[in-house]
């Protein structure tokens, strides 16, 4: 098999791994001419700074000595595996980069001969790209279970983003997914190391003079955990270890794994978890305010911000002309930019109608039931929209 064939094979198996914000086809940069043969390994993605690039998402190897119950790469599963050596993959990536087919890279791997050994291969690849081949673009590196602190630090010096997948929200749940991963020592501890390293070293020591961001991923619903458990851990990580975001991958059964007969999780659950995690991270909500049902899950039919507003704002609507930013952000239909736009517009006069709000980017049909405009409920104006 040639190198592109190997790349297609390895990348095609990355479907379950979320990395950066995925974007639709229209987000492709103008310089990129999509070719059918590239489709298996590059994806339009939005970087943390908002820039849109074509991201190559792949594994160094699909061989793995571990046996996580949900994973297509688990040891002993019968499928054709492929492997790149660091130099081989780095050179291939640079060719794709020079051809403008891939602008950034997310590199993960199955575990072979131990987590530290696998981590070295990932690090060697990134080091060849940065130091020998002069690649200055976006790199996201996975930290392997079993990696050492010095390796985490090296990854931070080479990458724009590092990720460590927790897979489950706590030790008890992880046992149901991955019997040989150790939650505290192998997964949570490297996330703590990242924050320790950030606190103990100046930013200029890191790639481009900035600390890399950190993300994690959970297999949502794989261990019968509740949304409350997932969001408790996510909230703690965001507040204590400056986790940039959590990815939630709704569990899907993979044939020929011990979980092949477990039903798939509704993808809408994944969506609700994202919405709730953004409310916690960006909108000033506390975990206790999330509209969990008695079983600790978010309601699937209603988005969590709307559910909260229906319980809390119908009887005490928010006055657009006086409310503080944190209160505006709690209104469905008002996002981060919308709240800023309202504050800015208020400096030049009162907002009295929904048309003015719509011009500021507010989704008025969602917001109107929870607002007052100069003391008046705008519901009667809704018919115009």
Contact positions vs ligand SF4 (CB under 6 A): 64, 66, 68, 71, 73-74, 110-111, 178
State which residue, 14 or 243, has the beta carbon closest to ligand SF4.
Answer: 14
In the complex, minimum distance from the CB of residue 178 to ligand SF4, in angstroms, rounded to a whole number: 6
State which residue, 44 or 110, has the beta carbon closest to ligand SF4.
Answer: 110
Side-chain-facing half-sphere of 146: CA atoms under 13 Å: 16
In the complex, minimum distance from the CB of residue 145 to ligand SF4, in angstroms, rounded to a whole number: 6
In the complex, minimum distance from the CB of residue 66 to ligand SF4, in angstroms, rounded to a whole number: 4
Q: Is 205 helix (H, G, I), strand (E, B) or coil?
A: helix
250 phi and psi angles, rounded to 5 deg: -60, 130
Across-strand partners of 216?
A: 246
State which residue, 7 or 342, has the beta carbon closest to ligand SF4.
Answer: 7
In the complex, minimum distance from the CB of residue 337 to ligand SF4, in angstroms, rounded to a whole number: 37
In the complex, minimum distance from the CB of residue 201 to ligand SF4, in angstroms, rounded to a whole number: 29
State which residue, 111 or 357, has the beta carbon closest to ligand SF4.
Answer: 111
State which residue, 75 or 345, has the beta carbon closest to ligand SF4.
Answer: 75
Query: Do 329 and 278 meet the contact criterion of CB atoms below 8 Å apart?
Result: no
State which residue, 64 or 280, has the beta carbon closest to ligand SF4.
Answer: 64
Alpha helices in the chain (DSSP H): 3-12, 86-98, 115-127, 149-158, 171-177, 189-200, 227-240, 267-282, 304-312, 325-328, 336-346, 354-359, 364-367
Ramachandran bin of 35, using left for φ above 0, alpha for ψ from -120 to 50, beta for the remaining angles = beta
How many residues in the chain? Answer: 385
CB-based burial of residue 237 (10 Å sphere; 0-12 exposed, 13-18 middle, 19+ buried)?
Answer: buried
In the complex, minimum distance from the CB of residue 32 to ligand SF4, in angstroms, rounded to a whole number: 29
State which residue, 68 or 309, has the beta carbon closest to ligand SF4.
Answer: 68
Beta strand 138-142 pairing with 42-46 = unpaired
**From CA 328, how far away is CA 330, in angstroms rounded?**
5
Across-strand partners of 341?
A: none
In the complex, minimum distance from the CB of residue 19 to ligand SF4, in angstroms, rounded to a whole number: 15
DSSP 98: H
């Amino acid at each position: 098999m040639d190198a592109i064939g190997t790349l297609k094979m390895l990348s095609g198996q990355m479907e379950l791994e979320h990395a950066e914000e995925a974007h639709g086809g229209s987000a492709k940069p103008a310089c990129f001419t999509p070719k059918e043969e590239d489709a298996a390994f590059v994806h339009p993605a939005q970087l943390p700074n908002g820039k849109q690039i074509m991201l190559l998402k792949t594994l160094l190897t699909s061989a793995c000595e571990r046996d996580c119950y949900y994973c297509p790469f688990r040891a002993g599963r019968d499928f054709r595996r492929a492997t790149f050596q660091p130099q081989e993959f780095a050179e291939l990536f640079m060719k794709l980069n020079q051809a403008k087919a891939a602008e950034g890279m997310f590199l993960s791997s199955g575990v072979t001969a131990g987590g530290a050994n696998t981590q070295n291969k990932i690090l060697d690849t990134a080091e060849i790209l940065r130091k020998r081949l002069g690649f200055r673009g976006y790199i996201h590196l996975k930290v392997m279970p079993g990696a050492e602190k010095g390796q985490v630090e090296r990854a931070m010096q080479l990458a724009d983003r590092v990720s460590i997948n927790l897979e489950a929200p706590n030790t008890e749940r992880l046992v149901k997914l991955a019997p040989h991963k150790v939650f505290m020592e192998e997964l949570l501890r490297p996330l703590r190391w990242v924050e320790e390293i950030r606190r103990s070293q100046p930013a200029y020591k890191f790639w481009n003079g900035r600390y890399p961001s950190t993300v994690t991923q959970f297999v949502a619903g794989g261990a019968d955990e509740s949304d409350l458990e997932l969001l408790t851990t996510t909230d703690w990580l965001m507040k204590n270890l400056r986790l940039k975001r959590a990815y939630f991958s709704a569990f899907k059964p993979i044939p020929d794994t011990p979980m092949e007969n477990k039903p798939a999780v509704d993808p809408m659950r994944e969506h609700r978890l994202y919405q709730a995690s953004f409310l916690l991270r960006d909108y000033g909500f506390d975990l206790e305010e999330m509209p969990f049902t008695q079983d600790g899950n978010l309601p699937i039919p209603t988005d969590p911000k709307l559910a909260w507003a229906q319980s809390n704002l119908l009887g005490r609507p928010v006055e657009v002309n006086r409310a503080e930013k944190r209160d505006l952000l709690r209104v469905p239909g008002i996002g981060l930019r919308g709240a800023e736009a309202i504050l800015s517009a208020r400096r030049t006069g009162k907002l009295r109608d929904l048309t003015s709000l719509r011009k500021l980017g507010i989704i008025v049909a969602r917001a109107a039931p929870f607002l007052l405009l100069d003391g008046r409920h705008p519901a009667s104006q809704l018919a115009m929209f």
